[in-house]
Chain A
Amino acid sequence: MTVAELSVSSDADLASLSRLRERLNLALRGKADVVELVLVCLLSNGHLLLEDKPGLGKTTLAKSLASGIGGRFARCQCTPDLLPSDMTGFNIFNQSSHEFEFRQGPVFAEVLLVDEINRATPRTQSALLEAMAERQVTVDTRRYTLSSQFFVIATQNPIDQHGTYPLPEAQLDRFAMKMSVGYPGHADEVNMLQDAVGSSYRVTDEQPVLELQQLNRIQESVAALSVASSVQDYLVRLAHESRCHASIALGLSPRGLLTWQRVAQSRAWLLGRNFVTPDDVQDVAQPVLSVRLGLEATEASSVIQEILSRVPVPEYEA
């Protein structure tokens, strides 16, 4: 056995994922790192918050992902008059059968794009809370289970803050990651323009590259990936450091710590490794921590970098 043969992730799974990666890269030009993190988030079974300006491809990305994993896709454009039942679904009286029957809301899809989530009222936002955290909704005291692959991609616009309801900390903690897409590079934009000439609209009805069962299996194997005790100790020390940091009001919660470990596992899996290194922990620190620590977007990056540099990595000792 050589060094290259050490990976645990099966070749078929990795091939499927690389196809998904290619598709997402086609949908979102020149943003391989964002796509990579989206995949990490997907495999770790967490939800994603995209914070960026309009027109940067957030919706495109979400739709491509949904089509790629062969699940249902639903989208929800949030406005202040959006009601919780518009999200979860509602009981309607059937005139013919004289019974109330349940109409499923968008949360019953595999991939839910919640556009401009901060424009919804807190009431509607909190209806999402149960769906995201427990993958179930309760309507009129009846509980409905959601898909186990339920994946929320929420977007919010950082520019226009008039008439918005900023997400509470509890809601933010339900997201695994937060990141921004950013403008594509010069060459990528030229390419994009060239592709747009001649085609009236983007082809959306593509065949899925990853079956839901396969995704489910991958997510299970990610969760089973081994994490050395030294790395777990490192994670705890990082969390402790975030709680001690002067410019952080709310340190990392134990739930956040669990999410961080899962996200690091999923990154290790994607790299074909069957163990987590401190590098995995560090590479996902920015998106995982920036959603949680209640930091201003301008200072988040430097504060997280400072936390990472303050905690020594585990030594190479037996």
Chain B
Amino acid sequence: MFGSTVSASRRGTRGVINSRQSARGYAHFRKSSTDTARRTTTSLHGLTVALALLASLIFVLTDADGGRSATSLGLQIFVEFAATMGFAWLVRGRMEVKNETPMIMPLLLIIVFASLLWEPFQRWFLLSGRPFEMMVMHSQKNLMLAAAVFGCWPGYQRLSILIGVSLAIFCAAIAREHRIQWLIAIHGFTAVSWMIGSYWDTLRPRLIAGENCRFPLRWLIIGPSIPLLLLLASATGGQAAITAISGFLPGSGGDGDSDPYSRSGVNDGDNLVAGTDNIKSFGPIEDAPFAEDDKPSLYDVFNDSFDEPVRRIKEQDRSIALPPELLAEINARMAKSEQAGREFSTLRRSTKADQKKIKDLESRALLYVAGRVPLHLRMETYDVFDGIDWFAETLKSKPRSIAIIPTNGRPWLRVRCRSRGLQLHADPETHAIQVINLRSNVIPAPLDLQALHIDQVDRADMFGWHSDTILKMERKSLPELTSIHLISECVDRSRLMNHEELTFLALSDTKRTQLPEMEQIAAVRTLARQWTQGIPEGYRKIEAICQGLRTDYTLDRSARVPEDCAFPVGHFLFNSKRGPDYQFATAATLMLRSLGFSTRLVSGFYASPARYDVRNRHTAVHSSDVHFWCEVFVGAGTWVTLDPTPGYEVLGPPPGIMKRTLSLITAAMRWMLSHWLIVLILSTTLSVAIVKRPLLADQCNSFWWKIAPSTTARGRILQTARLLDDRLRLAGLPRPSGVTLTKWLRQQSDRRSISSVQREFLSLADMAAYGTENHSNAVSPAVIEECCQRILRDLTLAELQRDGHLVSGMALATGNCS
């Protein structure tokens, strides 16, 4: 009786154990099956490791910044590569048998802290150190490599990629070497591929297998190609494309912090030495010392650029060219004027003696302009012209009032606007000007200056009027290296063109409509009328004059009229048809005056878009950028800048997003037109490749099949089966993932009888794929090779494509029927 009880209880215990074991076994079964789904594919893991290593390489190179020997760098990179790849391989191998262990997270934390703790050690014992951001990034780099090692779990994989991308962005911001930028571009390209691959990896289990769920290889390539194309456009599209693209991208600035371990930056920290004697570097410093030096004045720049004027017996000529009342005023002006260069002669002598000075000046910018270019910076305006000389405008007795009005805590000098009845102006423009190398107290500024700001200059009596529309500082010259901020308005030409109310009334002041009294003026007037014939009154006439000069005449800065010429503009207009910019400006001024407009000549500097420095975001103005243009009065107190010189543009309102895009497209088209042969060849090749891509792909596959045969007989059969599988896919008969090749080919062959070659190959393929090694070894390699070759000859791509068309045609027909 006892025995039976014992045995019963034992049996009971065993029963419990059995049920527990089976439960555990079942749980394990469930767990492992879900783990299979959660694990990432080997290729994605490999890509992650590659990306992590690339990011690490970028960071190490950026960190070294050319300051370490190639050997030590190479050693570090090699050790990192070997360690990461080795560990990743080990983990991947172990993962097949073991599941995620809870020790990974602490291990990662240890790596982060060990990297951070290394820094104090380095600073105290090795007497070298890294700046804070490098220290943090270094620990992040190690974390990234470790996470990549454990990348077989998607969580660690994403962590690794995230750190890698932020490292690459960080390095892109601070790296100085070009090859690093290339590496970063490759990293970006690969990272986009990873993103698509990873998305596909999570998507795949949710797809219904019957649907066409091939790996989206084309998107893997097209996706990263889009940013690459943009990059390419910015690299080859020239200035216009860069300006257009940079408008979409954010910028960054610096702050005032400094760190003894810092590498470089906006602020030089303790290394900054106050440059009192010789400032070599240029930086946007607001409080640079006001240093004096031998700087060229505007007059010197004129002479350097346009040679010296020919001095003649003025009284005699002028008495001919100017009416008596004006002549008297000019004489009075000349007597009063103590400043040289307030008149400009259009008659100049060719002197090539001292070229050195010009070159010397050429190498150094006179001033820098930050803000949108092209910009016409006015230095002097001229109203009276005697046929040879232009006379600068003088200050009226009652100039416009100026006052300092603090705005946002900064002193802004406000210029009181004249009342303007016309809504011609676009939104205000902001520019900053930094005088480097010019001795002048005249503030170079665009037309319609609204406000002006120099840091810490908060007294209005520091400023004065140079002429009616040009401001100056009440000191010998402008403060050097100091930013002068300007707010101005520019005229929107499209509004001007369509403005009905414009009267273009000439001013009552005759000085701006006065033509020199010469015989050739009649010819000038005739030419002007000829050019504007049939064009309605208004701004279109002005445009027509400028256009005429731009198209029919050639800019030649070295062209000079004969020294005995009494009317140099006449010579330019009717004889030589080429000349420097002042001849263009003078000609435009005279022709517009002959049509009844009020005009004036302006000299100053032209900030050319060609000189725009993308990196520093400013435009240098050199002595060769001294320029002449004219302004025309359009009524209601409004003057408009005109530039009749070919190749010079006038600043318009900022382009909108449409215009920007359009200019990008235009730049791309222009590039394509200029490289039409390459574009033609490339596009033809590309379109042929796209149309014939199945054939190309199959040829590549077959070629690979031929040149790299598998070593084993079984491998060779499987290789052939894969090639056949690819061929079916290329022919538009992709094998669904749930169907074997054998069954799929038989289904396709329903339309024609399956050949003995196919039958033989399919049984071989099944044997190679699902039989044991002994089975495949039983067949002689020669038989296998022959069978493989025959099947590839039997099922060519062309034949399969015919079947593919048949299938789609049948599908279409049944679709129509239903």
- Asked if residues B738 and A3 are in contact (CB atoms below 8 Å), the reply is no
Residues in A with CB closer than 8 Å to B31 are none
- Which of A4, A277, A314, A317 is within 8 Å of B742, CB to CB? A277
Measured in the bound complex, the distance between the Cα atoms of B743 and A239 in whole Å is 21
B763 touches A3 (CB 8 A): yes
> Which residues of chain A have C-beta atoms less than 8 A from B787's C-beta?
3
Q: Which A residue's beta carbon lies closest to that of B739?
A: A313
Residues B760-780 near A (CB distance < 8 A): 760, 763-772, 775, 778-780
A224 on the interface (CB 8 Å rule)? Answer: no
Q: Give complex CA distance A310, B205 in Å.
A: 9
Smallest Cβ-Cβ distance to B787: which chain A residue: A3
> Is B714 interfacial (CB-CB < 8 Å)?
yes
Contact A318 B718 (CB under 8 A): yes
B293-313 at interface with A (beta carbon < 8 Å): none
Check if A275 is an interface residue, CB within 8 A of chain B. yes
CA distance A1 to B741 in the complex (A): 24
Which residues of A are found within 8 Å of B289, using beta-carbon distances?
none
Q: A160 vs B529: C-alpha distance in the bound complex, in angstroms?
A: 110
Interface flag for A201 (CB, 8 Å)? no
Q: Is B229 an interface residue (CB 8 A)?
A: no
Q: Which residues of B contact A228 (CB under 8 A)?
A: 769-772
Chain A residues near B771 (CB, 8 Å)?
A: 226, 228, 274-275
Instruction: Identify A316's interface contact among B736, B739, B769, B775, CB under 8 A.
Output: B769
Interface size on A, residues (CB 8 A): 30
* Complex Cα spacing A4 to B760, Å: 8
- Contact partner of B770 (CB less than 8 A), chosen from A240, A275, A309, A310, is A275
A186–chain B nearest beta-carbon distance, Å: 23
Are the CB atoms of A312 and B767 closer together than 8 Å? no
Knowing A3-B783, A279-B742 touch, does A226 contact B772 (C-beta < 8 A)?
Answer: yes
Please tell me if the beta carbons of A1 and B778 are within 8 angstroms of each other in the complex. yes
Minimal beta-carbon separation of B324 from chain A (angstroms): 103
- How far is B768's CA from A294's CA once the two chains are assembled, in angstroms? 37
**B397 sits at the interface (CB 8 A):** no
| Interface contact B783-A316, CB-CB below 8 Å | no
Is residue A311 contacting chain B, with contact meaning CB distance below 8 A? yes
Asked if B740 is at the interface of the complex by the 8 Å CB criterion, the answer is yes
Q: Which residues of the partner chain B approach A274 to less than 8 Å between Cβ atoms?
A: 771, 775
Interface centre among B210, B721, B725, B766 (most CB of A within 10 A): B766
Q: How far apart are the CA atoms of A312 and B210 in the complex, in Å?
A: 10
State the CA gap A310–B722 with chains docked (Å): 21
B48 to chain A, nearest CB (A): 22
Given A6-B767, A6-B778, A309-B209, verify A277-B740 contact (CB < 8 Å).
yes
Residue of A nearest to B746 (CB): A279
Q: Is the beta-carbon distance between A312 and B737 smaller than 8 angstroms?
A: yes
From B208, B210, B715, B779, give the contact of A6 (CB < 8 A).
B779
**A177 CB–B CB distance under 8 Å:** no
**Closest A residue to B213 using CB positions:** A312
Q: Which of B718, B742, B771 has the most CB of A within 10 A?
A: B771
A2: Cβ under 8 A from any B Cβ: yes
Instruction: Report whether B714 and A318 are in contact in the complex, using a CB–CB cutoff of 8 Å.
Output: yes
Q: Are B743 and A282 in contact (CB under 8 A)?
A: yes
Q: Does A276 lie at the interface of the complex (its beta carbon under 8 Å from any beta carbon of B)?
A: yes
Q: Is A179 an interface residue (CB 8 A)?
A: no
B210 touches A278 (CB 8 A): no
Q: Are A312 and B209 in contact (CB under 8 A)?
A: yes
Least Cβ distance of A150 to chain B in Å? 28
B33 at the interface (CB under 8 A from A): yes
Chain B residues lying within 8 Å of A6, measured Cβ to Cβ, are 763, 767, 775, 778-779
CA distance A5 to B780 in the complex (A): 12
How far apart are the CA atoms of A214 and B742 in the complex, in Å? Answer: 32
Point out which of B722, B743, B760, B769 has the most chain A C-beta atoms below 10 A from its C-beta. B769
Q: How far is the CB of A265 from chain B (nearest CB, A)?
A: 12
Q: Which of A4, A276, A308, A316 is close to B741, meaning CB atoms less than 8 Å apart?
A: A316
Complex CA gap A295/B692 in Å reads 48
Question: Do the beta carbons of A278 and B770 come within 8 Å of each other?
Answer: yes
Residues from 230 to 247 in A contacting B, C-beta threshold 8 Å: 230-231, 236, 240
CB-defined contacts of A306 to chain B, threshold 8 Å: 208, 210
Name A314's closest neighbour in chain B (CB-CB): B769
- CB of A3 within 8 A of CB of B764, answer yes
Q: Could you say which residues of chain A place their CB within 8 Å of the CB of B766?
A: 273, 275, 277, 279
Known: A2-B783, A278-B770, A316-B769. A309 touches B778 (CB 8 A): no
Contact check, B770 vs A277: say whether CB atoms are below 8 A apart: yes
Interface set, chain A 280-318, CB cutoff 8 A to B: 282, 306, 308-314, 316-318
**B718–A316 touching, CB < 8 Å:** yes
Decide if A313 touches B764 in the complex (CB within 8 Å).
Answer: no
Within 8 A of A (CB), among B9-34: 33
**Cβ B736 vs Cβ A309 within 8 A:** yes
Assess whether A316 is in contact with B721, with CB atoms less than 8 Å apart.
yes
Identify which of A4, A279, A317 contacts B740 (C-beta below 8 A).
A279
Question: Cβ of A276: which chain B residues have Cβ within 8 Å of it?
Answer: 770
Q: How far is the CA of A276 from the CA of B779 in the complex (A)?
A: 18
Q: Point out the residue from B715, B742, B769 that lies within 8 Å of A230, measured CB to CB.
A: B769
Chain B residues 726-751 with CB under 8 Å of chain A are 736-743
Q: Please, how many angstroms separate the alpha-carbon atoms of A129 and B767 in the complex?
A: 38
State the CA gap A279–B722 with chains docked (Å): 17
Residues of A within 8 A of B769 (CB): 228, 230, 277, 314, 316
**Which residues, 498 to 527 on B, are CB-close (under 8 Å) to A?**
none
- B725 CB contacts on chain A under 8 angstroms: 316
A311 to B208, CA, bound (A): 9
A283's closest neighbor in chain B, by CB? B743
Alpha-carbon separation in the docked complex, A231 to B769 (Å): 9
Closest to A2 in B: B783
Distance A2 CA – B209 CA, assembled complex (angstroms): 36
- Interface contact B778-A310, CB-CB below 8 Å: no
Which listed residue (B763, B765, B768, B780) contacts A1, Cβ 8 A?
A: B780
Cβ A310 vs Cβ B209 within 8 A: yes
Question: Could you tell me if B767 and A275 are in contact, using CB atoms closer than 8 angstroms?
Answer: yes
**Which has the most chain B C-beta neighbours within 10 Å: A2, A226, A306, A318?**
A318
B765: nearest chain-A partner, CB-CB: A316
A residues near B715, Cβ cutoff 8 Å: 318
Given known pairs A2-B779, A274-B775, A316-B725, the reply for A309 and B760 (CB within 8 Å) is: no
B744 CB to closest chain A CB (Å) equals 10
User: Smallest distance from the beta carbon of B778 to chain A beta carbons, Å?
Assistant: 5
User: Chain A nearest CB: distance from B357 CB in Å?
Assistant: 77
- List, in ascending order, chain A residues with CB within 8 A of B714's CB: 318
Residue in B738, B742, B765, B779 whose beta carbon sits within 8 Å of that of A309 in the complex? B738
Taking A313-B740, A316-B725 as contacts, is the C-beta distance between A275 and B772 under 8 angstroms? yes
| CB of A204 to closest CB in B, whole Å | 39
A314 to B764, CA, bound (A): 16
A308 CB contact (under 8 Å) in B710, B738, B764: B738
A164 to B377, CA, bound (A): 104
| Interface residue ranges of B585-638 to A (CB < 8 Å) | none
- Cα distance A309–B735 when bound, in Å? 11
Alpha-carbon distance between A275 and B766 when the two chains are bound, in angstroms? 9
Name 18 A/B residue pairs within 8 A (Cβ), A-sorted: A3-B779, A3-B787, A6-B775, A228-B770, A230-B770, A231-B770, A274-B771, A275-B772, A275-B775, A277-B770, A279-B740, A306-B208, A312-B737, A312-B738, A316-B725, A316-B765, A316-B769, A318-B718
Binding site for A on B (CB under 8 A): 33, 208-210, 710, 712, 714-715, 718, 721-722, 725, 736-743, 760, 763-772, 775, 778-780, 783, 787
The 4 closest A-B pairs by CB, nearest first: A312-B737, A275-B771, A309-B738, A316-B721
10 further A-B contacts with Cβ under 8 Å, apart from A3-B760, A228-B770, A228-B771, are A1-B780, A4-B760, A228-B772, A277-B740, A309-B736, A310-B209, A310-B210, A316-B718, A316-B769, A317-B718
